[in-house]
């Protein structure tokens, strides 16, 4: 019932459609109870040799009422569907809003397939229950009441017997519902795992094919698919036991009515037409009782689905905006880390007491071994995560005291993991600024050295790039992402290996274009390219979550510390691709250091 309480705000919001549907259902219930009496009257008229006109009148009345019942049923089903679709429309919107407000840590914990399963299949479970089962339950209750009243008016003894069978049916339904709920909840979780595997395989099909691990992936999918199959098979077995058991109980009631009612007809205590009407009511009675069982089963499935949906809706984001958060004014880009520590979980700290200052307009390169904390630093600046201790200041504002949107719209990010939408080139570039003019989009593309290849595409800026930008090369996707960041005109720029997917010549062109953008902007760079690192105003070297060195390229080379070793290894790997001037300068520094 807790879930129905949660859904009540969505239900009451659309109470007009539900009320009209219930009204149609009540009228149709009255007709369902009344029509058997007409059939009984026809039989009575035939047995008593009534006039043909009377019989025709009763038949015409029955046909007319059946037609009215059909019309009422149509409107009831339409209103049910309208009501349920409106409810799940609101629930789906709230679910999407909840997903959008979640912090990055939420997506670290939950698989994409689980989110997709809850937003689609689980939502549909709620729609199915609200669309038909609620009104079916109300209708069944009123139908049972109407039938029982009619049955009491015909024969008390037979009616009391039918009532005595009801408690065992209710207990059977309750036991079945509890068991089916547990099974369905497990099956839904397993279905989410299946969806995640399928999502990963479709997204990573090129990687899978390139290293020929199709058989391994098939086995992995087959294993999870078999577990889902077993869960669903359990549900099928349970229903296979329950449905015949319900039919057996219902059949027993009907058989008793004919036996005992027949004896009463022979004894003169009951007429044939009364027995016919009573047996019709008995047959009608089993339908709403079994329907209540279906409603209970559907309710349990809906509860299992609803719990998974509201788990997301109720999830509090790890990064919360304070009620009194202020709007971040236009920033200059003065960034300060004060004793910042952070870990994705409490037992494994990634950053340990990190402190540094970056003045407006400075370009800072973050260097260090894998896992040293470089990417974590740039994720903390736009507040994708909050530090576990310490604070981050931008222009003197603690970023936890400002509105998140006002902070992030002044930070441009070009990541090594480029995501392009299945839309046009123009729409992808203007994603961060939908109201941008075509001239602004073209200018950003030119600065990012993307204009020439865009114009060679079949429809230029109106070319659809495909899901994830699949029709473009890695370097082309990278440059569109750079153009997107340029168009936002950020005061703080974050480049996370933003030239990792381009060749040396393209990188050189992009670096020339970025030099104009970087000027007078605070820029954080993570890169393995020497030409990028050495031109930074400041280099921060991290190791095991701590800053171990800080300074310019020349200063750090002379120290012959960790940066010197990293640079040596990168230099040996890249020296044949470096411009001659850089080779000569770096070789001189290296020799001098020795």
CB 172 within 8 A of CB 246: yes
DSSP assignment of 378-393 equals HHHTTTSS--SEEEEE
pLDDT at residue number 534 = 81
pLDDT at 587 (0 to 100): 47
500's enclosing H/E stretch is: none
The answer, yes or no, to whether residue 400 has pLDDT greater than 90, is yes
Q: Is the pLDDT reported for residue 171 higher than 80?
A: no
The 3-class SS string of 139-152 reads HHHHHHHHHHHHHH
Residue-wise burial string across 32-46, b where 16 or more C-beta atoms lie within 10 A, e elsewhere: bbebbbbbbbbbbbe
Q: What is the CATH number of the domain that holds 121?
A: 1.20.1560.10
For residue 443, being part of any structural domain is answered with no
Phi and psi of 267, rounded to 5°? Answer: -80, -5
Q: Note the helical H segments in 381-495.
A: 404-408, 425-429, 438-447, 451-455, 474-488
Please spell the DSSP secondary structure of 47-62, one letter per residue: HTT--HHHHHHHHHHH
Name, in order, each residue with C-beta under 8 angstroms of 127's C-beta and a sequence gap of 6 or more.
Answer: 84, 85, 87, 88
| Residues of the chain above pLDDT 70, percent | 82
DSSP E strands: which ranges in 175-298?
none
For residue 366, name the pLDDT band (cuts at 50, 70, 90): very high
Sheet holding 389-394, edge to edge: 348-358, 335-345, 389-394, 397-398
Q: Do the domain assignments include residue 51?
A: yes
Q: How many CB atoms lie within 10 A of CB 397?
A: 16
Q: What pLDDT is stored for residue 206 in this prediction?
A: 58
Domain count, the chain: 1
**pLDDT confidence bin for 377, thresholds 50/70/90:** very high
Q: In this model, does residue 563 exceed pLDDT 60?
A: yes
* Residue 89, pLDDT above cutoff 80: yes
Three-class SS of residue 540? Answer: strand
Comparison of pLDDT for 422 and 403, the residue scoring more? 403
Indicate the pLDDT class of residue 426, thresholds 50, 70 and 90. very high
Asked if 155 and 279 count as a contact pair (C-beta separation under 8 A), the reply is no
How far is Cα 539 from Cα 561, in angstroms, rounded to an integer? 13
Q: Would 499 be classed as within a structural domain?
A: no
Tell me what pLDDT residue 357 has: 93
- Please compute the mean of the pLDDT values over residues 577-582 and round it to a whole number: 55
Under a CB-based contact definition with an 8 Å cutoff, are residues 251 and 21 in contact? no
The two three-digit tokens of residue 296, written as one number: 């209970």
Token couple for 29: 């219930």
200-204, 345-349, 539-543, range with the lowest pLDDT: 200-204
Q: How confident is the model at residue 502 (pLDDT cuts 50, 70, 90)?
A: low
pLDDT at 125: 81
The answer, yes or no, to whether residue 138 has pLDDT greater than 50, is yes
Please say if the pLDDT value at position 59 is more than 60. yes
pLDDT at site 15: 82
At 204-228, the pLDDT tens digits run 665 666 556 677 778 878 888 888 8
Mean pLDDT over residues 168-176, rounded? 67
Starting at the edge strand found earlier in the chain, the sheet holding 492-496 runs 411-414, 492-496, 522-526, 363-367, 538-543, 546-551
According to the model, what pLDDT value does residue 591 have?
Answer: 45
Q: Domain range spanning residue 300?
A: 2-313
User: Do the beta carbons of residue 283 and residue 160 sit within 8 Å?
Assistant: no
Q: Is residue 39 part of a domain?
A: yes
Q: Which residues pair with 424 in a beta bridge?
A: 464
β partners of residue 380: none
pLDDT of the residue at 335: 94
Q: What are phi and psi of 340, to 5 degrees?
A: -85, 125
- Distance CA(170)–CA(163), nearest Å, equals 11
Q: Is 90 exceeded by the pLDDT of residue 402?
A: yes
Find which of 43-47, 323-327, 428-432 is predicted with most confidence, using mean pLDDT: 323-327
Average pLDDT on 366-390 reads: 90
- The residue among 106 and 355 whose pLDDT is bigger is 355
Report the 3 state secondary structure along 157-170.
Answer: HHHHHHHHHHHHHH
Locate 167 and state its tokens: 């408690």
CA–CA separation, 94 and 100 (whole Å): 10
**Can you tell me which residue has the tokens 């009320």?**
19
Does a structural domain hold residue 115? Answer: yes
pLDDT, tens digit, 9 for 90 and up, residues 217-274: 788 788 888 888 887 788 777 777 776 776 676 677 777 777 877 877 787 777 777 7
Please determine, for residue 531, whether its predicted confidence score (pLDDT) is greater than 60. Answer: yes
* pLDDT value for 559: 86
pLDDT for the residue 139: 78
Q: Pick the more confident residue, 341 or 41.
A: 341
Q: Looking at residue 569, what is its pLDDT?
A: 77
347 is a domain residue: no
Q: Any residues with CB less than 8 A from the CB of 417 and at least 6 apart, and which?
A: none
Does the residue 57 lie in any domain?
yes
77-91, 99-113, 177-191, range with greatest mean pLDDT = 77-91
Distance CA 216, CA 230 (A): 21
CB–CB of 334/522 below 8 Å?
A: yes
Q: Phi first, then psi: what are they for 542, rounded to 5°?
A: -115, 150
Which tokens belong to 269? 């205590």
Q: Please tell me the predicted confidence (pLDDT) of residue 535.
A: 82
Token code pair at residue 531: 């030409």
Within-domain flag for 480: no
Residue 129 has pLDDT above 70, yes or no: yes
Average pLDDT, the chain: 79
Give me the pLDDT at residue 290, please: 67
| pLDDT, average across residues 448-474 | 85
Residue 393 has pLDDT above 90, yes or no: yes
Run of H or E residues at 356? strand 348-358
Identify the residue with better confidence: 489 or 518.
489
Residues 6+ apart with CB under 8 A from 179: 238
d(CA 173, CA 584): 84
Please give the pLDDT value at position 508.
66
Residue 84 has pLDDT above 90, yes or no: no
Q: DSSP letter for 396, please.
A: T
What are the E-state strand segments in 68-210? Answer: none
Q: Which residue has the tokens 């992030």?
A: 408
pLDDT in tens, 267-323: 777 777 777 777 777 777 777 776 776 777 777 778 878 888 888 888 888 888 888
pTM of the predicted protein model: 0.67
- Average confidence (pLDDT) over 460-469: 85
Which pLDDT does position 51 carry in this prediction? 60
Q: What is the pLDDT confidence band of residue 399, given thresholds at 50, 70 and 90? A: very high
């Amino acid at each position: 019932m807790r879930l129905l309480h949660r859904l009540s705000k969505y239900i009451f919001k659309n109470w007009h459609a539900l009320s009209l549907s219930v009204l149609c259902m009540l009228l149709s219930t009255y007709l369902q109870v009344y029509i058997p009496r007409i059939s009984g009257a026809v039989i009575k008229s035939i047995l008593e040799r009534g006039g043909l006109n009377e019989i025709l009148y009763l038949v015409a009345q029955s046909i007319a009422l059946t037609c009215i019942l059909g019309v009422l049923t149509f409107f009831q089903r339409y209103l049910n569907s309208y009501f349920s679709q409106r409810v799940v429309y609101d629930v789906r919107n709230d679910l999407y809003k909840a997903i959008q407000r979640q912090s990055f840590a939420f997506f670290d914990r939950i698989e994409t397939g689980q989110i997709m399963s809850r937003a689609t299949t689980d939502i549909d479970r709620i729609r199915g229950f609200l669309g038909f089962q609620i009104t079916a339950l109300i209708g069944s209750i009123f139908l049972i009441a109407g039938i029982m009243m009619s049955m009491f008016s015909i024969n008390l003894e037979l009616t009391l017997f039918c009532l005595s069978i009801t408690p065992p049916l209710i207990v059977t339904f309750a036991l079945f519902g509890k068991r089916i709920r547990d099974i369905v909840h497990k099956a839904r979780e397993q279905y989410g795992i299946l969806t995640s595997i399928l999502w990963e395989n479709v997204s990573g099909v090129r990687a899978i094919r390139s290293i020929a691990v199709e058989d391994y992936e098939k086995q992995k999918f087959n294993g999870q698919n078999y577990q889902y199959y077993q869960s669903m098979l359990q549900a099928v077995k349970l229903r296979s036991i329950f449905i015949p058991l319900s039919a057996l109980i219902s059949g027993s009631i009907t058989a008793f009515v004919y036996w005992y009612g027949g004896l009463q007809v022979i004894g003169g205590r009951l007429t044939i037409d009364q027995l016919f009407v009573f047996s019709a009511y008995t047959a009608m009675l089993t339908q709403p009782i079994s329907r209540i069982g279906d409603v209970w089963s559907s309710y349990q499935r809906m509860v299992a689905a609803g719990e998974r949906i509201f788990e997301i809706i109720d999830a509090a984001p790890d990064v919360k905006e304070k009620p009194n958060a202020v709007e971040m004014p236009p920033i200059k880009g003065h960034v300060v880390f004060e004793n910042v520590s952070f870990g994705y979980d409490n037992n494994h700290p990634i950053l340990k007491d990190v402190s540094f200052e970056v003045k407006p307009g400075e370009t800072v390169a973050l260097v260090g071994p894998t896992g040293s904390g470089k990417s974590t630093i740039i994720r903390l600046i736009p507040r994708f995560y909050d530090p576990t201790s310490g604070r981050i200041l931008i222009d003197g504002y603690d970023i936890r005291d400002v509105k998140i949107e006002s902070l992030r719209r002044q930070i441009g990010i070009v990541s090594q993991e480029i995501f392009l939408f299945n839309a046009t080139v123009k729409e992808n570039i203007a994603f961060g600024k939908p109201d941008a003019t075509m001239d602004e989009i073209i200018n950003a593309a030119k600065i990012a050295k993307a204009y020439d290849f865009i114009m060679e595409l079949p429809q230029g800026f109106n070319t659809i790039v495909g899901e994830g930008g699949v029709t473009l090369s890695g370097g082309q996707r990278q440059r569109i992402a750079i153009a997107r960041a340029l168009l936002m005109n950020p005061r703080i720029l974050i480049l996370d290996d933003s030239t990792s997917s381009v060749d040396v010549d393209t990188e050189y062109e992009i670096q020339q274009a970025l030099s104009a953008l970087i000027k007078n902007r605070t820029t954080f760079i993570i890169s393995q390219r020497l030409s990028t690192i050495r031109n930074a105003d400041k280099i921060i070297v991290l190791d095991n979550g701590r800053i171990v060195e800080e300074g310019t390229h020349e200063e750090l080379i002379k120290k012959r510390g960790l940066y010197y070793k990293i640079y040596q290894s990168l230099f040996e790997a890249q020296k044949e691709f470096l411009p001659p001037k850089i080779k000569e300068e770096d070789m001189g520094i290296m020799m001098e250091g020795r």
